Amino acid sequence: MSILVTGASGFIGSHLCRELVRRGHHVAALTRSGRTEYIAPLLPHENFSLHTGDVNDTNLIHQIIEDNRIKTIFHLAARLPNKNDMNNPLRSFDINARGTSNVVSAAASKNVEQFIYISTMSVYSEPPSYLPVDEEHPAQPHTIYGITKRTGELCCNPYYDRMTVIILRYSGVYGQYCRESDAVPTFIKQALHNQPLTINGDGTQSSDFVYIDDIVQGTILAWDKGTPGVYNIGSGQEMSVQELAEKIIHLTGSKSKIIRSANKTERPYRFVLDINKARKLLGYSPLPLEEGLRRYLGEIGHNG
């Protein structure tokens, strides 16, 4: 099977590319940045080709699809949340909304069979109306990132009758190559250096933290099953920031203490995804948080 992965050099895209190549598929990888450090082992592989360019370059997208006889597209390319989003929202719209519209329309015009759009838990209203948050929960995002990703979802709607369209809403993903500013790598770094783990707010705010291998598993299961629709892909396990910090201190054997900062948290509420739809229809089965953290620690060279 010939597959196009956009956003291929990023955290999640690089893991997905490696698994697809491992399974024997030909992967055409598109990256705007041209970075290769996460996908370096794939570069000499005969089933992997790297393309540098923008998702808004219509001619380039068409050419990649034609030259590689692409049958499936995993669309991960996105501008992630950025502190400057409020000052420059059009940059996020250009990549997350317009870029998605360009790729999905190109896919339909070139008879691509499956289009898997990677969305986010940030499309749901904040704070959520109820817990756990299922796929029927109101999608009324309050951030530039969430709004642009929700717009990307809507851009897929006209094409459901042209090809199999699947939308995956990820929760907070951690693992090798994740952003160092995220909660899990930040706490792990502090714990490994026996530094205080700093929590903004009272620590009761919670989220759904999911290991990268589970995200890749859920993404490929959705493609394998080929059932159109929207699926939450997360851990389905609510974890407060306080509990996360305590688990990481325990797993690392750290002497760190937990301290609280007067700074406000960006997400001062509880959150967890309902993943029952993915469990039932896709056979999705994520790891418990503690096991995912153990594997992540092993990847970065700490075995407890």
Query: Bigger pLDDT: 222 or 34?
Result: 222
Two tokens, residue 239: 């974890």
For residue 303, pLDDT beyond 70: no
What region, left, alpha or beta, does residue 259 occupy, with left being phi > 0 and alpha being psi -120 to 50 degrees? beta
What pLDDT is stored for residue 87 in this prediction? 84
What pLDDT is stored for residue 264 in this prediction? 85
What pLDDT is stored for residue 85 in this prediction? 85
Instruction: Return the closest-CA partner of residue 212 out of 276, 298, 147.
Output: 298
What pLDDT is stored for residue 265 in this prediction? 86
User: How do residues 166-186 score in pLDDT, each as one tens digit?
Assistant: 999 999 999 999 999 999 999
For residue 263, pLDDT beyond 90: no
Residue 127, SS3 per DSSP: coil
User: How do residues 44-93 score in pLDDT, each as one tens digit?
Assistant: 999 999 999 999 999 999 999 999 999 999 999 999 988 888 888 999 99
The span from the CA of 101 to the CA of 56, in Å, is 9
Average pLDDT over residues 89-99: 96
The span from the CA of 15 to the CA of 182, in Å, is 18
Residue 197 CA to its chain's centroid (Å): 25
Q: What percent of the chain has pLDDT over 70?
A: 99
Decide the pairing of beta strands 206-211 and 238-240.
Answer: antiparallel
Q: What percent of the chain has pLDDT over 90?
A: 92
What pLDDT is stored for residue 59 in this prediction? 98
Structural domains of the chain in order of their starting residue, each with its CATH number: 2-170 (3.40.50.720), 175-206+238-272+288-299 (3.90.25.10)
For residue 304, pLDDT beyond 70: no
pTM above 0.95, yes or no: yes
The span from the CA of 218 to the CA of 174, in Å, is 15
